[in-house]
């Protein structure tokens, strides 16, 4: 029986651009980054107000590229800051739309993904989806306990890329994702190390402004007492401290750049400080992977390194030299989010996976 061809439009809104892709099953037939001028973006009071503008530019771009949207089988948007949910592909419904519009868990450009997908799809009478948003939360109850009773550990990580890469690795190994124990490390502007136990991410560091390794732009775990003292020193406002932790932390704080290629150039030119800081970032990633292996009691089928930093061979070697004793390391550089959105939609369209209803039955483990 011939494979049915499904054509999907996928949408990934960013702060100053919108990435779109059109896929025939797994094959990309169009990928485009639509740039939005800062003057246009700044003319909107709120992110949600950009919806009509971005939808219009997407439809115009598709028309200019000769894409007939009446041939689409589904539209999938990048999931935004929603309620905590388990991983998977979700149909966009009214509850989700309301949470995206009101910014239930915060305002972010990715909130527009589900809204635009729904509006385009509803006009064509086809389904609209989101796949593995950053709020995916499958933590074990024990992983939520922080040690400070007023604060619970939460799951905020690169769920879309981590889950997609984990499934690809499972396919390469001839196994199902739900049969494997993997440690997947996404290394980009933020770094997250996820413990994937038989298809669920049971522990992961908060890659936004929580804990874990420092990264090109984020401080990661810092000494708590010293941070509290700094907060009450009278030298900084709250927003200034947050900026130093997220945006001006990590490589930016030490070296004034978030560009790993630039840092590697400095190291080649003999910059000892750059070499030390870069090595320290690799050291912290390896240490986090080591901690993740303890969660799995050492039963690790593979360690996966992905994200933009995984292109750096020297950086990857600094990590793998420290973790090779745990398990084999598989490197999948980059983060193909458009492909991941298409694959998530395709699994549902083919009946390989059931579509999920938002918000589901998620429950936290508060104590």
pLDDT exceeds cutoff 80 at 1: no
pLDDT at 283: 98
Please write the tens of the pLDDT for every residue from 242-254: 999 998 999 999 9
The 10 Å CB-count burial string (b at 16+, else e) for 158-171 is bbbbbbbbbbbbbe
pLDDT exceeds cutoff 80 at 33: yes
Instruction: List the 302-307 sheet strands across, edge first.
Output: 200-204, 191-197, 181-187, 302-307, 329-333
Task: Calculate the average pLDDT of the chain.
Answer: 94
> For 307-326, what is the mean pLDDT?
97
Above pLDDT 90, what percent of the chain? 88
- Half-sphere exposure of residue 182: CA atoms within 13 angstroms, side-chain side: 31
pLDDT exceeds cutoff 50 at 234: yes
Among the listed ranges 9-13, 14-18, 188-192, 232-236, which one has the minimum average pLDDT value? 14-18
CA distance 214 to 246: 10
pLDDT at 280: 98
**Contact yes or no for 133/162 (Cβ under 8 A):** no
Residue 20 pairs in a beta bridge with 11, 32
- Torsions phi, psi of 160, nearest 5? -60, -50
Prediction pTM value: 0.91
- Which pLDDT band holds residue 367 (cuts at 50, 70, 90)? very low
- Which pLDDT band holds residue 308 (cuts at 50, 70, 90)? very high
Q: Is 4 exposed, middle or buried, given 0-12, 13-18 or 19+ CB atoms closer than 10 A?
A: exposed
CA distance 255 to 292: 28
Residues counted in the chain: 367
Through-space distance between the first and last CA atoms of the chain, rounded to whole angstroms: 53
**Dihedral (C-alpha) 255, 259, 263, 266: value to the nearest 10 degrees?**
-90
CA distance 169 to 56: 37
What does the angle CA 137 – CA 139 – CA 143 come to, to the nearest 5 degrees?
140
Query: Six-digit token pair at 230?
Result: 């700094």
pLDDT exceeds cutoff 80 at 345: yes
Mapped to the 3 state alphabet, what secondary structure does the chain carry? CCCCCCEEEEEEECCCEEEEEEEECCEEEEEEEEECCHHHHHCCCCHHHHHHHHHHHHHHHHHHCCCCHHHCCEEEEECCCCCCECCCEEECCHHHHHHHHHCCCCCCCCHHHHHHHHHHHHHHCCCEEEECCCCECCCCHHHHECCCCCCECCCCCCHHHHHHHHHHHHHHCCCCHHHCEEEEEEECCCEEEEEEECCEEEEECCCCCCCCCCCCCECCCCCHHHHHHHHCCCCCCHHHHHHHHECCCHHHHHHCCCCHHHHHHHHHCCCHHHHHHHHHHHHHHHHHHHHHHHHCCCCCCEEEEEEHHHHCHHHHHHHHHHHCCCCCEEEEEECCHHHHHHHHHHHHHCCCCCCEECCCCCCCCCC
- Which pLDDT band holds residue 107 (cuts at 50, 70, 90)? confident
- Which pLDDT band holds residue 2 (cuts at 50, 70, 90)? low
Please write the tens of the pLDDT for every residue from 73-102: 999 999 999 999 999 999 999 999 999 999
CA distance 286 to 326: 11
Higher pLDDT pick, 45 / 290: 290
């Amino acid at each position: 029986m011939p494979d049915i061809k499904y054509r999907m439009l996928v949408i990934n809104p960013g702060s100053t651009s919108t990435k779109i892709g059109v896929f025939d099953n797994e094959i990309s037939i169009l990928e485009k980054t639509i740039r939005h001028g800062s003057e246009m973006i700044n003319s909107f009071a709120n992110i949600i107000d950009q919806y009509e503008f971005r939808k219009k530019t997407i439809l115009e771009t598709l028309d200019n590229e000769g894409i007939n949207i009446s041939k689409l089988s589904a539209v999938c948007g990048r999931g935004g800051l929603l309620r905590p949910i388990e991983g998977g592909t979700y149909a966009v419904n009214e509850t989700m739309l309301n949470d995206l519009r009101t910014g239930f868990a915060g305002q972010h450009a990715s909130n527009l993904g589900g809204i635009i997908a729904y509006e385009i799809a509803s006009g064509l009478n086809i389904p609209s989806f989101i796949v593995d948003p950053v709020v995916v939360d499958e933590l074990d109850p024990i992983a939520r306990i922080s040690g400070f009773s007023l604060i619970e550990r939460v799951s905020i990580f690169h769920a879309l890329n981590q889950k997609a890469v984990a499934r690809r690795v499972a396919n390469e190994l001839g196994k199902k994702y739900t049969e494997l124990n993997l440690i997947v490390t996404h290394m980009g502007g933020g770094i997250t190390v996820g413990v994937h136990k038989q298809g669920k991410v049971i522990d992961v560091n908060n890659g936004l402004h929580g804990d874990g390794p420092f990264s090109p732009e984020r401080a990661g775990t810092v000494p708590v007492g010293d941070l509290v003292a700094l907060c009450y020193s009278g030298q900084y406002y709250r927003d200034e401290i947050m900026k130093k932790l997220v945006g001006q932390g990590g490589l930016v704080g030490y070296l004034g750049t978030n560009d790993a290629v630039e840092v590697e150039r400095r190291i080649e030119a003999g910059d000892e400080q750059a070499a030390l800081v870069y090595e320290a970032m690799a050291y912290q990633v390896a240490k986090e992977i080591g901690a993740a292996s303890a969660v799995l009691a050492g039963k690790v089928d593979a360690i996966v390194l992905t994200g933009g930093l995984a292109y750096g061979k020297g950086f990857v070697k600094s990590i793998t030299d420290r973790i090779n004793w745990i398990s084999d390391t598989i490197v999948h550089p980059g983060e193909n989010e458009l492909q991941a959105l298409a694959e998530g939609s395709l699994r549902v369209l083919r009946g390989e996976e059931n579509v999920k209803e938002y918000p589901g039955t998620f429950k936290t483990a508060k104590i």
